[in-house]
Amino acid sequence: MSEPFAQYPYGAYHVPEPPRRRRGRHALGLTVTAIVALAAGAGAGVALSHGSSPSGSTTAASGATSGTSGGTSGGTSKTALTQAQIASRVDPSLVDVTSTLSYDDATAMGTGIVVTSNGEVLTNNHVINGATSIKVTDIGNGRTYTATVVGYDESQDIAVLQLSGASGLTTANFGNSSTVRVGEAVVGIGNAGGVGGTPSEVAGSVTALDQSITASDESSGTSEQLTGLIESNADIQAGDSGGPLVNSYGQIIGVDTAASTGFEFGNGFGGNNYFGGNGSSGSGQESETQGYSIPIDTALSIAQEIEADQASSTVHIGATAFLGLEISSEEYSGGVAIEATVPGTPAAEAGITAGDVVTSIAGQSVSTGSDISQILIGYHPGNKISISWTNEFGQSQSATVTLATGPAA
């Protein structure tokens, strides 16, 4: 099957602290999608209005423009475009995303979509998950920028980036995903293979709507369900994560987030830790390539929440809080077993060591690494938080720690 989400050229991702949800890189192809939002003082608000329906009633626009005020990527066509024409319109509004994962000595590459001319970019959360630094290369002008994470929704695999010092970028042309129909022709565009340069494009058609999948992480053993997805037979590859699914009129209708090939629905898992979702049919039938994309209406809705600083139980705004726990793969009843702590982090300074079992965070009982991640969504660097654990001798201990700034979640 195709590689999963972002492209990892330097080996498997080792899960730090709150278990970073890495969809198995060889198990499935969750593509990275980051949502664009305003950074403090960045300027005008996010342009989140949708384009017209691709029914032919749209207004033709001129070619892509650039300059100090930025421009749209080719606008919308009244007639269906060729694959090459679609790519020429969409490419200037895309970016290559390179995430450095210092705690894991790894690098991840994905794709992003430019939402505003001042450098707000939409991408998958899994593209920047665990990143200690992020570099973004704009396809439209060829420049490379440092990026910060404005916010993210891990449950929807969406994130928002802000490029430092960016202006005049070519912005994307968004469609309306509620009008998408089965059988509609689409093109997936992105940084396939993480090689950078001119984005690659693959043609296909929509095969199903409102699909659910379970994305499994080989390294951590965790899984995450994504729902409401657009399914297509476009050959989405590793590195395409966060890139656009585009209709025949040059409008972005989805954000590519996962892909699988050669999977058997009904009988067994095909050895790829990837599970079929709604609408899967045919017991034991082998599927062709299946790509999954987050509807653009959903992605932009989450982006609006982030842009408005509307934190919630799933949406985190700003820098990620960090304890410094490395979760053991060993299951333990009554808490979360710790494999190690990162030197110099709050957990290490509190005295937590390998073999200890964390039982509660902020007064809430925890039994999995995901529980710890969920609790930390509501906190930020500098916040004080209580942590309780049992040491290897069975003694209960607790401490109040000040959260540090950690990798993006």
Element spanning 48, H or E: none
Residue 118 zone, left/alpha/beta (φ > 0; ψ -120 to 50; rest): alpha
Q: Where are the alpha helices (DSSP H) in 185-339?
A: 296-307
Write down the pLDDT at residue 33: 26
Nearest Cα to Cα of residue 169 among 251, 76, 66: 66
- Can you tell me which residue has the tokens 């965790």? 222
Nearest Cα to Cα of residue 96 among 83, 113, 73: 113
Write down the pLDDT at residue 334: 87
Write down the pLDDT at residue 74: 59
Cα distances (Å, whole numbers) of residue 52 to 94, 154, 225: 20, 29, 30
| Residue 238 and residue 192 in contact, taking contact as beta carbons nearer than 8 Å | yes
Q: Quick one: DSSP state of residue 266? A: S
Say how far apart CA 181 and CA 283 lie, in whole Å.
25
Q: Quick one: DSSP state of residue 371? A: H
Q: Which CATH number fits domain 33-307: 2.40.10.120, 3.40.50.12780, 1.10.3720.10, 3.30.1360.120?
A: 2.40.10.120
Sorted by where each begins, the domain ranges of the chain are 33-307, 319-406
| Residue 67 and residue 328 in contact, taking contact as beta carbons nearer than 8 Å | no
Say how far apart CA 256 and CA 275 lie, in whole Å.
17
Write down the pLDDT at residue 392: 87
First to last CA, the chain: 26
| Residue 76 and residue 51 in contact, taking contact as beta carbons nearer than 8 Å | yes
Q: Which residues of the chain have pLDDT under 70?
A: 1-77, 215-223, 261-288, 409
Say how far apart CA 54 and CA 113 lie, in whole Å.
20
Q: Which CATH number fits domain 319-406: 1.10.580.10, 3.30.750.24, 2.30.42.10, 3.40.50.2300?
A: 2.30.42.10
Q: Where are the alpha helices (DSSP H) in 96-250?
A: 125-128
Residues recorded for the chain: 409
Nearest Cα to Cα of residue 252 among 207, 212, 299: 299
Say how far apart CA 364 and CA 372 lie, in whole Å.
9
| Residue 380 and residue 402 in contact, taking contact as beta carbons nearer than 8 Å | no
Give the SS3 label for residue 40: coil
Write down the pLDDT at residue 332: 80
Element spanning 375, H or E: helix 369-376
Write down the pLDDT at residue 105: 84
